[in-house]
Structures are given as C-alpha cells and as structure tokens.
Amino acid sequence: MAGAVSGAYLRLRQTTKTGSWTMAMDADAMPDKEELPGLGELSRMLQIPCPSGREERMAAHLTARLQQLGAEPRKDNQGNLWVELPGRESGPGVAIASHIDEIAMVVTAIEADGKLRVQRSGGLYPFKLGEGPVVLVGDGQDIPAHLSFGSGHTNDPTDPVAQFNSGSRGITWRDCHLLTGLTPTQLQESGVRVGTCAVPAAGRRGPNLFGPADDPLVSAWLFDNRGGSLTLLQLWCWLRDAGVTPLRRLNLCFLVQEESGLLGAKGWVRRNEVETFVAVDSTPMPRGTDLTLDGRPGTWSRDSQVHFDQGLIGELAAAAGRAGTELQYAVYSAAASDATGVLQVGGAERCATIGYPRENSHGYEVVRWSVFQHLTATLGEWVASY
C-alpha cells in the first residue's frame, strides 16, 4: 500500500443570492485552482507523509514540481533540496528557506499483541490529535493504524482515562498506543519497527475552507511547514514571471529535519556560503502575541534563543509596504526556526524569520488564505530590491 491514500475534500460552493459559501463533501476531488489559487498545490502536499528523517517523498514531489516550473533543483546527501538563481554580482549569496518535515509520532516499542507504543517526534502532543486513523511510514510501504487512548467506561482512579475525565491530569504519550491489527511478525514483514514514524491519515488532513467568501480561512493538518514550501514555489514563479535577476546569488531551499533540531539548515549553511538567511515558516499565535488572521505576514523579532537582524526585518517591512501589505511582529518564549539554527552555527551574518500567522500551532492549523499572496509578494519585492 505504498504512497498516500486519497482523501475527501471539503469544497466551496457559492450561493448566488447571498454571496455566502456552502460546504459539500466531494470524495477524491481537489478544489479548483480557480476557486482559490494555490489550494490545489497545498492539497497535494497535504497527502504526502514527511516526518523528520523521512522527507524523501516530499523532496521527490517538490523536485518534480520545480522541474515542471522550469527550475533545476539540486539535492545533497542530507536530503536538502534547493534551486540556485545566479546574481548580478559575485560574493556570498542569499538563502530563503522552508523546512519540509512535519511533526509526528515515533514507535518506541512493539508489544506481543501488535500494539505499538509511541512517543512524539517534534512538538506533537496527544490532545492535538485525538483518537483516530494514522499511517505508519514503514520501510517500503505505508501501514494503516489507529491512535487509541483506551476505553472511557471506568471509574478506576488509577486509570489514565478516568483521571483525564476527572480533570486531574491530561493524556500523555505513555497513555497512548497504536492499534494495527497485525502481529509483531507481520509488522516486521511490513517494514514497521522501533523508530518507524506515524502521522495522521490522509483523509484527516484537509484542507477545509470556512469564513467569508472573499477572503476565506483554511484549516489543515499541517501547514507547518507546507505553507512555507507553497510560498517558495510561488516565489519562484513570481521571480520568473517578473524577470527578476537577484543582486546576489539566491538559493530557494527546502530543508530537512527542522522539527528534530534544525539539522538540515545547519548542515546546508556549512556547505553553502550565504551572507543572509531568511526562514519562511509559520508565525504561531500564542496568548499574549499581537497577531491576527487578517492576511498580513508575520515576522519573528525574537524567539526563545536569538534576536533576529533588525535591519533585515526593516528591509522586509519596507518590501511588504511596496507589496501593498504590512508586517506583524512577534516575540516568542518557546519557538525556534531554521534561521535560529543558522545563527547558532554562525552560518550567515544576517538572519530573519518571516511567515504566515496560524492558529492552533502544531495541531489542526488555521490560516487566512490571502496571507500567502501577500507573503510571496513581500519576498519578491525584497529580492528585487536587495
């Protein structure tokens, strides 16, 4: 059963009299690009499992798409993918980067009855998922499974579900297991082992559209960081169609293992000299941040570990103005991006993170779809004037 399984999509249908949208479930049908530009691109990426360390299918998909768009992508042995645009002047270049891995579960033990014990890979927590179908990314094929917390019909004070129901504590990964319906031998023959990752099944991922017809909200599992990869694909087209030749060599990078230590970015900058590194990632909206889902891109002024280059942030803000939008600003106590990792290893003199505000970070995330148009135009204007 190699590859992802096609899921059903929620499509928008507009009511002529009111101008409002109604929802209809169309099995195996993608929303038309005419309804929402770029949504088909995102929909295809949502169907591709890409946990940290297993990004090869996403890399293959992006390679094919870039080639279709006229680019000549390169790939290193770490799994990083990038497109290089020559500059008008020589010298250290610029990188604009998206990571291509996603948070997941990882198998830690296989029990005698075929149940799998799991732990998080990246910042994934059980309450964000809930019980439901998942897919194990095995060695050679995908295996369907089901995330389970156990029965709730008990008053046993030692039972974790009873403790959760009483409000005394939450569900943690030690309370979870995956049901597979297979024996340990069958799992081994299917390529499932300790270290195998699992992600939500394709049918659960979306996208789903709601809100106003002229500027809808979109929810999906996960935008992080398919939204960044979508932006880079659109940026390539923006630069190509505008005939822009960057001042310095420009690299559009699709990097691995951000969720497991910012490793792809750290490795890539050690092997490729750049003066400026801009991570394109989500902009989480925890309580206390002054961020809204109104279509404006967001930038990180500081995260949990570093201050980003304020002059570079100013350049991006000016570019946003030329693109007809403006930036929102955030400071985080518990976040990091690939730009953080690049600063930590001294891989670039100037670093920034810019992206799309999202609700429900590391869960079923929600964005204002127009943010991707504004984000792409902002980056295009910045490259054109750099």
282 and 144: one domain? no
Whether 144 and 133 have beta carbons less than 8 Å apart is answered as yes
Helix axes 39-46, 56-68, angle to 10 degrees: 150
Confirm whether 263 is domain-assigned.
Answer: yes
379 and 238: one domain? yes
**Closest to 234 measured CA to CA, from 356, 317, 341:** 356
Residue 345 — φ and ψ, nearest 5°? -100, 5
Confirm whether 355 is domain-assigned.
Answer: yes
Sign of the torsion formed by the C-alpha atoms of 235, 241, 242 and 246: positive
358 and 235: one domain? yes
The CATH number for 301's domain is 3.40.630.10
Please give the pLDDT value at position 91: 85
Please give the pLDDT value at position 159: 82
**Domain boundary residue, one of 176, 203, 230:** 203
Residue type, 280: V
57 and 197: one domain? no
Q: Which two tokens stand for residue 80?
A: 């990083």
232 and 173: one domain? no
The CATH number for 192's domain is 2.40.30.40
Confirm whether 59 is domain-assigned.
Answer: yes
**Domain boundary residue, one of 172, 203, 234:** 203
According to DSSP, the β-strands at 274-284 and 350-358 are parallel
Please give the pLDDT value at position 31: 44
Whether 327 and 298 have beta carbons less than 8 Å apart is answered as yes
265 and 279: one domain? yes
287 and 230: one domain? yes
Please give the pLDDT value at position 161: 81
246 and 350: one domain? yes
Confirm whether 156 is domain-assigned.
Answer: yes
285 and 244: one domain? yes
86 and 233: one domain? yes
* Cα–Cα dist 384/378, whole Å: 10
**Closest to 284 measured CA to CA, from 169, 95, 171, 128:** 128
Its domain, for residue 198, covers 104-203
Confirm whether 306 is domain-assigned.
Answer: yes
**Domain boundary residue, one of 142, 169, 203:** 203
Please give the pLDDT value at position 157: 82
- For residue 289, give Cα distances in angstroms to 129, 298, 320, 358: 24, 11, 20, 12
Please give the pLDDT value at position 151: 83
228 and 345: one domain? yes
Which residue is listed with tokens 């204002």? 368
Confirm whether 17 is domain-assigned.
Answer: no
- For residue 182, give Cα distances in angstroms to 58, 149, 155, 294, 375: 28, 18, 30, 47, 46
pTM of the model: 0.89
Domains in the chain, number:
2
95 and 112: one domain? no
Please give the pLDDT value at position 252: 99
Confirm whether 274 is domain-assigned.
Answer: yes
Confirm whether 213 is domain-assigned.
Answer: no
Per-residue pLDDT tens listing for the chain (386 residues): 333 323 333 444 444 333 444 444 443 443 454 478 899 999 999 999 999 999 999 999 999 999 999 999 999 999 999 999 999 998 889 999 999 999 999 999 999 999 999 999 999 999 999 999 999 999 989 999 999 998 888 888 888 888 888 788 888 999 999 999 999 999 999 999 999 999 999 999 999 999 998 899 999 999 999 999 999 999 999 999 999 999 999 999 999 999 999 999 999 999 999 999 999 999 999 999 999 999 999 999 999 999 999 999 999 999 999 999 999 999 999 999 999 999 999 999 999 999 999 999 999 999 999 999 999 999 999 999 88
